[in-house]
Chains A and B, each alone.
Chain A
Amino acid sequence: MQTIHASQVRPPFYRDERVLGVFSQVLVVVIVLGLGLFFFSNMISGLREKHAVAITFSFLGQTAGFDIGESLIEYSRERTYLRAFVVGLLNTFQVAVLGIVFATALGILIGVMRLSTNFLVNRIAAVYIDIFRNIPLLVLLIFWAQGVFLKLPRVADAIVLADSFYLSNRGVAIPWGIPTESWRTYLIVLGAGVIIGAALAYFLREHGKRTGRMPLVTLWFIITVAAVGLIGWIVLPQPLTLDIPSLEGFNTQGGIILSQQFLALLSGLIIYTAAFIAEVVRAGIQSVSKGQREAATALGLTPAQTLRLIIFPQALRVIIPPLTSQYLNLTKNSSLAIAIGYPDLFAVAGNTILNQTGREIEMFTMIMGTYLSLSLLTSILMNVYNRRIRLVER
Chain B
Amino acid sequence: MKSMRKLNKVGMILSMVIGMIIAACMSPAAGPEVVESDEAAAPAMQETQSTLSIVQERGKLVCIGNSQLPGFGFLDSEGNFTGFDVDYCRAIAAAIFGDANALEVRPATARERFTILSSGEGDVIIRNTTWTMSRDTDLGMNFGPTTFYDGQGLMVRKELGVSTLDDLQGASVCVITGTTTELNLADQFAAAGVDYEAVVFEDFDQSFTAYEEGRCDAVTTDKSSLVSRQTTLSVPADHVILGVTLSKEPLGPAVRHGDDQWFDLVNWVVYATMLAEEHGIDSTNVDSFMGSDDPNIRKLLGLEGDFCAKVGISNAGCFVDVITEVGNYAEIYNRNLGPDTVFDLPRGLNSLYTDGGILYAPPIR
Interface mask (A58-98 → B, CB under 8 Å = 1, otherwise 0): 00000001111110000011000000000000000000000
Residue of B nearest to A32 (CB): B19
| A209-217, A229-237, A244-252, A368-376: which lies at the interface | A244-252
Q: Give the contacts of B43-102 with A (CB-CB under 8 A).
A: 43, 46
A146 and B183 CA atoms in complex are apart in Å by 26
Report yes or no: A355 in contact with B178, Cβ–Cβ below 8 A: yes
For B177, the chain A residues whose CB sits under 8 A away are: 347, 351-352, 355
Between A and B, how many residue pairs show CB distances below 8 Å? Answer: 149
A168 to B: closest C-beta gap in Å: 8
Report yes or no: A351 in contact with B198, Cβ–Cβ below 8 A: no
Is B202 part of the contact surface with A, judged by Cβ < 8 Å?
A: yes
Report yes or no: B187 in contact with A77, Cβ–Cβ below 8 A: yes
Residue of B nearest to A68 (CB): B198
Residue of B nearest to A150 (CB): B213
Is A218 part of the contact surface with B, judged by Cβ < 8 Å?
A: no
Report yes or no: A34 in contact with B42, Cβ–Cβ below 8 A: no
Interface size class of A (residues with CB under 8 A): 35 or more
A36 to B: closest C-beta gap in Å: 8
Is A18 part of the contact surface with B, judged by Cβ < 8 Å?
A: yes
Is A292 part of the contact surface with B, judged by Cβ < 8 Å?
A: no
For B15, the chain A residues whose CB sits under 8 A away are: 22, 25-30
Report yes or no: A65 in contact with B186, Cβ–Cβ below 8 A: yes
Using known A-B contacts A251-B171, A251-B172, determine if residue A341 contacts B200 with beta carbons closer than 8 Å. yes
Is A49 part of the contact surface with B, judged by Cβ < 8 Å?
A: yes
A355 and B132 CA atoms in complex are apart in Å by 13
A26 and B42 CA atoms in complex are apart in Å by 31
A126 to B: closest C-beta gap in Å: 34
| A273-281, A301-309, A356-364: which lies at the interface | A356-364
Report yes or no: A51 in contact with B214, Cβ–Cβ below 8 A: no
Interface of A is mostly: helix
Report yes or no: B214 in contact with A155, Cβ–Cβ below 8 A: yes
A32 and B46 CA atoms in complex are apart in Å by 29
B273 to A: closest C-beta gap in Å: 30
Report yes or no: B178 in contact with A49, Cβ–Cβ below 8 A: no
Report yes or no: B172 in contact with A67, Cβ–Cβ below 8 A: no
B112 to A: closest C-beta gap in Å: 10
Report yes or no: A251 in contact with B202, Cβ–Cβ below 8 A: no
Interface of B is mostly: helix
Using known A-B contacts A26-B15, A30-B18, determine if residue A169 contacts B178 with beta carbons closer than 8 Å. no
For A341, the chain B residues whose CB sits under 8 A away are: 199-202, 206, 210
Report yes or no: B11 in contact with A169, Cβ–Cβ below 8 A: no
Report yes or no: B215 in contact with A37, Cβ–Cβ below 8 A: no
A151 and B214 CA atoms in complex are apart in Å by 9
Report yes or no: B46 in contact with A66, Cβ–Cβ below 8 A: no
Is A189 part of the contact surface with B, judged by Cβ < 8 Å?
A: no
Report yes or no: A339 in contact with B202, Cβ–Cβ below 8 A: yes
Q: Which of B11, B186, B197 contacts A26 (CB 8 A)?
A: B11
For A324, the chain B residues whose CB sits under 8 A away are: none
Q: Which of A33, A76, A261, A338 contacts B19 (CB 8 A)?
A: A33
Residue of B nearest to A28 (CB): B15
For A170, the chain B residues whose CB sits under 8 A away are: 172, 215
A339 and B202 CA atoms in complex are apart in Å by 7
Using known A-B contacts A66-B186, A170-B215, determine if residue A251 contacts B170 with beta carbons closer than 8 Å. yes
B198 to A: closest C-beta gap in Å: 4
Is A182 part of the contact surface with B, judged by Cβ < 8 Å?
A: no
Is A343 part of the contact surface with B, judged by Cβ < 8 Å?
A: yes
A152 to B: closest C-beta gap in Å: 9
Q: Give the contacts of B1-24 with A (CB-CB under 8 A).
A: 4, 7-8, 10-12, 14-16, 18-20, 22-23
Is B222 part of the contact surface with A, judged by Cβ < 8 Å?
A: no
Give me 5 other A-B pairs in contact (C-beta within 8 A), A76-B190, A341-B200, A343-B200 excluded.
A21-B11, A30-B18, A248-B170, A249-B169, A358-B114
Can you list 8 A-B contacts (CB < 8 A)?
Answer: A29-B15, A29-B16, A41-B28, A49-B43, A50-B118, A65-B183, A67-B185, A250-B168
Of all A-B residue pairs in the complex, the 6 with the closest CB atoms, nearest first, are A22-B11, A26-B15, A154-B214, A355-B178, A250-B171, A29-B19
Interface residues of A (CB under 8 A from B): 18, 21-22, 25-30, 32-34, 37, 41, 44-45, 49-51, 65-70, 76-77, 146, 150-151, 154-155, 169-170, 248-251, 253, 260-261, 338-341, 343, 347, 351-352, 354-358, 360
